[in-house]
Amino acid sequence: MNKPKVCVLLAAGINRDYDAVYAFEKAGADVERVHINTLASRRKTLKEYQILMLPGGFSFGDDIASGKVLANKLKYKVLDQVLEFISDGKLVFGVCNGFQIMAKLGLLPGFDGNYKNRLATLTFNDSGKFEDRWVYLKINSDSNCIFTKGINDLLYVPVCHGEGKFVVKDEGVLDKVCSNQQVVVEYVDAEGDFAGYPFNPNGSVQNIAGICDETGRIFGMMPHPEDFIRMTHHPRWTRKDISGDGSGLKLFKNAVEYARENFLLA
Q: Which residues are catalytic?
A: 96, 224, 226
What burial class does residue 126 get, using C-beta atoms within 10 Å of its C-beta: 0-12 exposed, 13-18 middle, 19+ buried? middle
Contacts of 172 (CB under 8 A, 6+ apart): none
DSSP secondary structure code for residue 110 in this structure:
-
Radius of gyration of the CA atoms of the chain, in A? 17
Q: Determine the straight-line distance between the first and last CA of the chain, rounded to whole angstroms.
A: 6
In sequence order, the 6+-apart residues with CB closer than 8 A to the CB of 64 are: none
Peptide bond preceding 201 in cis form (omega within 30 of 0)? no
CA-based torsion, 28, 34, 36, 42: positive or negative? negative
Cβ atoms within 10 A of the Cβ of 243, count? 7
Burial call 172-204: b when 16+ CB within 10 Å, e when fewer:
ebbebbeebbbbbbbbbbeeeeeeeeebbbbbb
Question: Are the CB atoms for 20 and 248 separated by under 8 Å?
Answer: no
